[in-house]
Structure 1
Amino acid sequence: MENPAIDPIRIYGPLITRALRNWGKHTLILALDTSVLFEKFCLIRVAVLFRGRAGPLVSRVIEPSSAQVSTAHLLSVLARVKGLLDFLRIREVRVLADRGFCDTDLMAWLRFCDWHYRIRIKSNLILASPDGHRLCKVGEVKLDPREVRCFHNVTLTGQHFGPVHVALGRPSDGPEQWQVVSDEPTSINTFDEYGERFQIEEGFLDDKSGLFGLEDSKLRDALCLERLTLVLAIATLLLVSVVGWNYARHH
């Protein structure tokens, strides 16, 4: 793990591109998320969602100066992802992310890549019409249980980023509402599309305290931890590939 000659990107890149080489024109669903390690490090990951599993595509471990991971760190990881997908000529991509990634700079970058996205947004964001007329804050929209409301061709924040599409939903009698922004017109199906994101959280659980026991590691160096996540990523890729091959064989 301390060997500087072990470069996770150079090792894992050829493996994951080989696994995805026959993806074809199907939409590739990606989840972007982070996980805290030992209350000191942050694991940034973009994973491919496939048959209920989250296969790591690009992972990076950093030691951030604050609790918030900067957009620059996120974009550096996404740039690696774009390089891999451009090499594979995979054009149809949809990125899913939680409200911690509700950032117009990130959305602008995804738009530049011509990638689609479904991102959960915060209640204090301002919705406005394309001409700049303020409509409301997201949290000001009060829904009845099981009600869904969609806003199409609106802008976000005081910067009027857009046009985007927003879906708001209240799934039960509880107070929590679901709020998702999309680059494509929204509907009740938007929540199902966003809900696929939770697969990456299951993947983090497998890494940290479930299948692999990453939290039992005594490593406390970002580069060493990144090499360890390389080992876990290869193991996950192998397991997902075997399951996928067996599924295809019997169907």
Structure 2
Amino acid sequence: MINGLIYSGQLSLSAWEPYVHSLAEQAQSFERRWRRFLENKRVRVEKLYLPLAMSALKDWQNHRLYLAIDTTVLWNRFCMIHISVVCCGRAIPLLWRVLEHGSATVAFNEYEPMLRKARWLLRHHPDVMMLADRGFANHDFLSWLQASNWYYCIRITCDTKLHGIRRHIIEASSIYPQKGEAAFYRNVGLWQDVYSLILWSGKVTYSPKVSSKK
């Protein structure tokens, strides 16, 4: 199964079949065997995986640990929420949850338990930076990150309302830095209700992002 997953690069059981050598003559024999394993309630993935992940992170306490939270929609029916460790340009899964939800945007209360568990698992890591896409730009998530003393960098939409940069309310699109440049702002409020936080904005990328630090 691992070989099939790596070589095919897909989550489809049927896509793994060409990479498996077996005496089975029918393709369904492979899938039935794999499904029995995947549906075996005695196999507790979390109990097997988490100790390995935490062992790999034990020597990272003196360095900033980058986490990324994201969602993946499968077959327009299921939504997987995952918190990953960013390493060498890759996102290594740490925690995940699957919901029967057809959208990539999920409510904060759906992933808050994962955040609390990640905070407990990484309690010995004093320097954690959370990366997130614009679907996670909301009051509750920012409040939780600030209360947890985690740094964070969150993408926002170009029409996000900003307060405090200029005399009048402006949109994020009006302060795009030039390519290769960065701009930083303090004491900036977000959205129409002037959500107050200390904000630094500006990234050296094509897409507009806003990064903030407590």
Would you say same fold, with TM above 0.5? yes
User: After superposition, what is the alpha-carbon deviation per residue over 1:17-47, rounded to whole angstroms, capped at 9, x for unaligned?
Assistant: 1121222221101111111111111111111
Q: What does residue 190 of structure 2 align with?
A: 156
d(CA) in 1 for partners of 2:111 and 2:94? 14
- Pairwise CA distance, 1:139: 2.6
Identity of aligned residues (%): 32
- Pairwise CA distance, 1:3: 2.7
Q: Is the 8 A contact 2:154 2:212 kept in 1?
A: yes
CA 1:66/1:39 → structure 2, altered by over 3 Å: closer, same or farther? closer
Q: What does residue 100 of structure 1 align with?
A: 135
DSSP 3-state at the match of 2:76: coil
Aligned residues: 176
Q: How does 1:81-160 map to 2 (within 5 A)?
A: 81-86=118-123, 89-129=124-164, 134-141=168-175, 148-157=182-191, 158-160=193-195
Q: Is the 8 A contact 1:121 1:181 kept in 2?
A: no
DSSP 3-state at the match of 1:178: coil
The reply on whether 1:12 has 2:49 as its aligned counterpart is yes
- The structure with the largest alpha-carbon Rg is 2
**Greater mean deviation of Cα atoms: 138-147 or 5-14:** 138-147
RMSD: 2.5
Q: Is the 8 A contact 1:13 1:84 kept in 2?
A: no
Q: Is the 8 A contact 1:33 1:98 kept in 2?
A: yes
CA 1:64/1:162 → structure 2, altered by over 3 Å: closer, same or farther? same
The counterpart of 2:70, out of the listed 33, 42, 47, is: 33
Q: Is the 8 A contact 2:69 2:131 kept in 1?
A: yes
Q: TM-score, normalised by structure 2?
A: 0.72
Q: TM-score, normalised by structure 1?
A: 0.62
d(CA) in 1 for partners of 2:142 and 2:163? 17
Q: Is the 8 A contact 2:157 2:208 kept in 1?
A: no
d(CA) in 2 for partners of 1:101 and 1:13? 25
Structure with bigger RCO (C-alpha 8 Å, 6+ apart): 1
DSSP 3-state at the match of 1:22: coil
- Pairwise CA distance, 1:161: 2.6
Unaligned runs of 5+ in 2: 1-37
Q: Is the 8 A contact 1:169 1:179 kept in 2?
A: no
Of Structure 1 and Structure 2, the greater helix share is in: 1
DSSP 3-state at the match of 1:73: helix
Q: Is the 8 A contact 1:165 1:181 kept in 2?
A: yes
Unaligned runs of 5+ in 1: 172-176, 185-251
